[in-house]
Chains A and B, each alone.
Chain A
Amino acid sequence: MDDTLMDRLRAAASRFGPLSLFLIPTLAIYLYFAIYPTLSVIGFSMTKWNGISPDKTWVGFDNYTKMFSDRIFWEAFQNTFVWSAVIVVINVGLGLVIAALLSRVWRARLILQTLIVLPVVISPMAVATIWRWMLQPKGVINETLSGIGLDALTRPWLGDPDVVLFALAFAHSWSTIGLSVIIFLAGLQSVDEDLYDAAKIDGATTLQAFRYVTVPALRPVTAVVFILTLTTAFKAFDLIWATTKGGPIRFSEILSTYMYKRGALENQYGYGSAIGVALLVIVSLATLIYLRLQTRPEDR
C-alpha cells in the first residue's frame, strides 16, 4: 500500500515537478503579500504595541481575553452579523432574481445590465458621498417619499439607531449587487434549456421552474456569490466610515470600523490586530459552514 502511494507520489513529482517551478514566483508573491502579513497580524495580536514604538510587549492571549469581555466588541460583532445577513439576502436572493429576470429579457437587456452593474465601478468613497447626501433628513430619499405621499416612511436615516444599519446595508448592496447579477447571469448561460422545456411539458409554472430548475442548477454559482458577498460585507469599511463613523453612538459599528478605531485611532495595534484575527476566523468559519451546507450528501 505504502509502495503504491510512494509510487504515485514519485510519478506525480516527475510529471508536475518541473512545471511546479513556474509556480514559484507567484507563490513567493502570495506568501510575501498575503501569508506573511496575515501571520504578522496574528503575531501583533499577541503583543501590546502602540504601532509606533519599536518595543512590542508579548502578552500572549491577553488581547483575546480582553476582547471576549469587551462589551463594544460584542456590539460590533452582532452588528456585523446583521449587516452581513442583510447584504447576503439582498445580493444573493435579489441578485439571483434580477439575473433570472434579465436572462429572459431580450430588448434593452444590455442597457439594464449596464445600469445594474454601473455602481460596482464607482469608488467606495464616491458611493459613500452619494448615499450620505441621499440619506440626510432633507435628502433625496425623504424628499421623494414625502413627494409621493409617504411621509410616514421618512426617517433620519443616519441618525436613527433602529434603521441606520439597514439603510447602510442597502447602500452597500446597491453598490455591489451588480457583480452578483453578472456572476448569476454567467451561470444561467450554462443551464440546459432542455430542463426548462421538460419542466414546461410537466406543467411547471415559471416560479416552479425557477425553484426546481434554476436554483438547483446554480448551486455552485450561488456558493461563489455567497462567499464573495460575505467577505465583501465583512471587510466593508469605507461606506460606514464616510457616513456615520459607526454611529449614531455605535449602532452602525461593525468589526472593521471597531478594529480601525482601536488600532489606528487609539494606537492599540495589538488589540486592533486581535479584532482583525477574530474577523478572519469568523469569515473563514462562515464560509466553511456554508460550503458544508451547500454540498449535497451524495457529493460528500
Chain B
Amino acid sequence: MHFVTKGAVVASLAMTLAWPAQAQTEVVVWVGGEPGQATVYDTIAEQFNAENQDIKIEIVKTPSDLFNPALLPALSSGEGPDLFMFGTGPGQPAAIIDGGLVADLTPYFMANNWGATIPDGVINQTSSGGKLWAVGNEVETTAMFYNKKIFDENGLSVPETWADMSAAVKTLMDAGYDTPIGLAAADKWPVSHWQSMMFGRYAGPDGINEVMFGDGAWSDAPFVAASARLKQMGSDGWFGPNPVAVGYAELMDEFWAGNIPMTYTGPWIIPGGLEAIGDRASDYGVFQVPPFEDGQKIYPTESIGSGMYIRVNSEVKDAAVAFLNRLFFTDQGRATLLTGGTVPVGPLDAALSLADVPQLNQDIGASADQYRGNGTIPAFLDTITPGNLTTASYDGLQALLLNVMTPEEFTAELQTQWQIAKDEGTILAPGGLSAH
C-alpha cells in the first residue's frame, strides 16, 4: 500500500510537470510615460487581464524623449513591443511602414468594424496606400489655461478680441505679474504648441493642408505673419522676461501655485494639476485665444495624440487586437480613458454617460466644440512633421523669442528642411482607405 501511495504521488507529480500549463499569451505594450507612473492604460490593462485569464497585457512606460530612440532599434532587431504608440500623419511613420516593421491592420479594421467609430479624418491620418497602419489613440487639443481668481482680482474677463487680450496682459503686468502668459521655452516643445495654433489660425485648415499635402510652403505669407506675431508677443514681454530659460515642469508648478495667470497647453496637465491644487480646481478655467487679426477665425486645435501600431512579426497580433478593441471600441474602455483624461477618437455619447470627467476636461472640450464648425487645425505640428523639421522649428522658435532670427529667416529654414524631407521621400502620402 505504501508503495502504491508513493507511486501515485510520483505519477501525479510527473503528470503535473508534463501536463502543459494553460498557455497565457503575453502582449507587451509600450506607451509614453515615466516608469513607475500609473497611466490610464495600466488601469485598462488590469481590467482586461482580469477579464481574460488567457492573455496578459504588460504595459511598459518610456519617457517621450527616449521613446523613439529605444523603440526603433528594438523593432529593427525583430524584437520590441507587440503593440506600441508612435507618431502619425505624413511626417513620422514613413520609416517604420516603408521598413516593413509594422503590421497592416486593414483586415482587423474590416473584421471589427472599427470604421463605425473612427472618423474619416483620423483614418486618413493613420493610413496610406489604402492600408490602415495604426489606431489613433486619443484626440488632443490645446487652449489657454487661466487662473480665474487672478482674473477676478484684476477685474478681467475672458478676452474675446485681440484688443481685450492685449489689455488683459497689460493689466496683469501692471499688477506685478512679470509673466502674464507662462511659456516653458527651455524645453522647446511647448513653444511648438503656439506655433501649431498660430500657423493654423493664420493659414486656416486649408492652408495647412496645402503645405502638408500640396504645393504650399512654410515660407508663405501666413506663416511669416504668424511668426512675426509670436516674436512680437515675446518682445513685448507677454511670456515674461526669460521664457527661454524656463522649464515646463517648473512653469506648471508656478501656474498651479497661482503665480502665473495664464499658460497655453493641453489636457495632459489636468490630472497632475488637479492633484496639486486639490480643492482649488474651480479657480482654473480654459478659453480659446481670441483671433490675432481682424476677420480671423478661431479654429480649435485637434490632433490625434499618436497611433497604436502592431509589430509586424508579433506572434500575438490577435491578442493585441483584442486589447485594442477593449481600449478604444468598448464603452467601458472609452469611459475609463475619459475618466483618466484621455479623449478617444470618435463619438463619445455612450462613454460620457459612464465616465467621471474632470470639469477642466469638460471645459476644454466645450471651448473647442464652440468653434469646431469653423474647421480644426493640428495641435502638434511637431508630431506629424519629420524630425529634421521639428529640430529646425524648436531651435528657430527659441531664436525668434531671443530676437536673433527674423520671421522670414525662420519660415525659410522650415521650408528648406521640409523640402529636404520631401526630396528624401520621408513624407508619407496618407489615406486611401475608406470606412465606407
Contacts and interface: CB of A to CB of B under 8 A. Distances in A.
Interface string B48-81: 0000000000000000010011001101100000
The size bracket of the interface on A is 20 to 34
B75 A248 contact: no
B391 interface: yes
A52 B244 contact: no
A162 to B, nearest CB: 11
Interface in A28-83: 50-54
Interface stretch (A107-115, A153-161, A187-195, A201-209): A153-161
Contacts of A137: 240-242, 245-246
Interface string B381-425: 000001110110011001100101000000000000000000000
Contacts of A198: none
A135 to B, nearest CB: 8
B187 interface: yes
Nearest to A136: B250
A235 interface: no
Interface stretch (B94-102, B126-134, B199-207, B322-330): B94-102
A265 B382 CA distance: 12
B250 A265 contact: no
Given A161-B402, A248-B186, A156 B244 contact: yes
B430 interface: no
Contacts of B95: 50, 52-53, 267
Given A51-B72, A264-B69, A266-B387, A248 B402 contact: yes
B186 A265 contact: no
B242 A53 contact: no
A158 B246 CA distance: 8
B99 A52 contact: yes
Given A159-B186, A265-B387, A265-B391, A247 B398 contact: yes
A172 interface: no
A250 B254 CA distance: 27
A156 B68 CA distance: 31
A265 B66 CA distance: 9
Given A50-B95, A248-B186, A160 B245 contact: yes
A261 B390 CA distance: 10
B247 A159 contact: no
Q: DSSP majority for the A interface?
A: loop
A260 B387 CA distance: 12
Nearest to A135: B245
A161 B398 CA distance: 11
A212 interface: no
A249 B399 contact: yes
A138 B96 CA distance: 43
Given A159-B185, A250-B395, A264 B242 contact: no
B193 interface: no
Contact of A158 (B240, B241, B245): B245
Given A52-B72, A159-B185, A265-B68, A249 B398 contact: yes
Contacts, number: 98
Contact of A245 (B68, B101, B187, B399): B187
Contact of B75 (A52, A138, A241): A52
B188 interface: yes
A176 interface: no
Contacts of A267: 72, 95, 387, 426
B96 A52 contact: yes
Nearest to A267: B95
A290 interface: no
B257 to A, nearest CB: 11
B243 interface: yes
B402 A249 contact: yes
Given A52-B96, A247-B398, A157 B68 contact: no
A265 B398 CA distance: 19
A265 B69 contact: yes
Given A51-B73, A52-B76, A53-B95, A159 B395 contact: no
B244 A247 contact: yes
B243 A159 contact: yes
A251 to B, nearest CB: 9
Contacts of A91: none
A42 to B, nearest CB: 18
A266 B388 contact: yes
A4 B101 CA distance: 61
Contacts of B387: 265-267
Interface in A129-150: 132-133, 135-139
A175 interface: no
A29 to B, nearest CB: 21
A273 interface: no
Interface in A222-280: 241, 243-245, 247-250, 260-261, 264-267
Contacts of B244: 156, 158-159, 247-248
Contacts of A135: 245
Contacts of B246: 136-137, 159
A156 B76 contact: no
Interface of B: 65, 68-69, 72-73, 75-76, 95-96, 98-99, 101, 185-188, 240-247, 250, 254, 386-388, 390-391, 394-395, 398-399, 402, 404, 426
**Closest 9 pairs between A and B when the two form their complex, measured CB to CB:** A159-B245, A156-B245, A156-B242, A266-B387, A159-B244, A264-B69, A52-B99, A53-B99, A248-B244
Given A52-B101, A248-B244, A267-B72, 19 more contacts: A52-B72, A52-B95, A52-B96, A136-B245, A136-B247, A136-B250, A137-B240, A137-B242, A156-B245, A159-B243, A159-B244, A160-B245, A241-B65, A244-B186, A264-B72, A265-B68, A265-B387, A265-B390, A267-B95
